[in-house]
């Protein structure tokens, strides 16, 4: 008699995932139930919509194309701003890690700026750049830069000295040191910084759109507030959360693929 131990382990893992997934749905379903009961009992009459009313409004926004337009605008902004932050944060982090004098010059000012929330700069950016795309991109870059910069430095400084010695013995060029040593060895920390930077920039973008935009999900929420459209506000909040979860899930998949060597025995 033969036993499929590997199949049993896979089945057990699937059962655990399913059980955890069902547990994770318990609180959201309870919140929706409480929301429905509050709406049906007359709490916030004329203001608090029922879940069914929100679903109807959601369908209307999809049919008109308004929701898709706001989502497209926000996603385009986040992609542009995030890649600008990567283009600044990764090289600056590498330079600060391998060239200490540079770090000594920039550490005080960057340490100060890191303590200032991106939202605090929005009024200043509006005065300087106006309410065009430059303001939103600046907020995104500012929010994403510091996690990327700091994790790049952390990843490089944690590289074992033996690897640097091997690189010197093999007479690696600067290009080879970058591509064959620094980036692979610092990949776990670097990817963590990119993931955190994306999360920060997504939240900062929504805040910027609320204060300095005529499109995007943040603007959609503020426009609904001015019209006392609580159903549209709920939709905007839900879409922001779902897209944020989807982006983070994508980073998890990318991290698992790039760092798959860590799971090898």
Nearest Cα residue to 73 out of 120, 145, 137, 19: 137
2 pLDDT higher than 50: no
- pLDDT at residue number 204: 92
pTM of the model: 0.83
- pLDDT at residue number 58: 94
**Mean model confidence pLDDT for the chain:** 86
The distance in angstroms from the start CA to the end CA of the chain is 29
What is the pLDDT confidence band of residue 83, given thresholds at 50, 70 and 90?
very high
What is the pLDDT confidence band of residue 144, given thresholds at 50, 70 and 90?
very high
Residue with tokens 């590498």: 94
3-class secondary-structure state, position 209: helix
- pLDDT at residue number 193: 93
The runs of H, that is alpha helices, within 99-132 are 100-114, 118-129
| pLDDT mean over 34-50 | 76
Residue 198 contacts by C-beta under 8 Å, 6 or more apart in sequence? 78, 82, 144, 247, 248, 251
Rounded CA-CA distance 209/73 in Å is 10
């Amino acid at each position: 008699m033969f036993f499929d131990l590997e199949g049993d382990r896979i089945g057990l893992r699937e059962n655990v995932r399913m059980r955890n997934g069902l547990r994770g749905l318990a609180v959201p379903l309870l919140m929706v139930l409480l929301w429905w009961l509050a709406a049906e009992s007359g709490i916030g009459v004329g203001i608090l919509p029922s879940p069914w009313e929100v679903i109807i409004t959601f369908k209307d926004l999809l049919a008109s194309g308004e929701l898709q337009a706001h989502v497209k605008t926000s996603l385009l902004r986040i992609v542009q701003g995030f890649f600008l932050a990567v283009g600044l944060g990764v090289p600056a982090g590498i330079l600060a890690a391998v060239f200490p004098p540079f770090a000594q010059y920039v550490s005080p000012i960057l340490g100060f700026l890191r303590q200032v929330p991106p939202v605090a700069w929005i009024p200043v950016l509006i005065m300087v750049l106006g309410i065009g795309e430059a303001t939103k991109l600046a907020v995104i870059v500012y929010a994403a830069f510091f996690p990327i910069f700091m994790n790049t430095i952390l990843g490089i400084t944690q590289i074992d000295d033996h690897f640097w010695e091997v690189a010197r013995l093999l007479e690696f060029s600067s290009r080879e040191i970058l591509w064959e040593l620094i980036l692979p060895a610092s990949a776990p920390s670097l990817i963590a910084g990119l993931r955190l930077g994306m999360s920060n920039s997504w939240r900062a973008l929504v805040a910027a759109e609320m204060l300095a935009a005529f499109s995007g999900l943040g603007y959609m929420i503020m426009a609904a507030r001015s019209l006392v459209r609580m159903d549209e506000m709920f939709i905007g909040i839900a879409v922001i959360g779902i897209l944020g979860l989807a982006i983070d899930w994508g980073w998890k998949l990318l991290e698992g693929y790039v760092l798959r060597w860590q799971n090898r025995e």
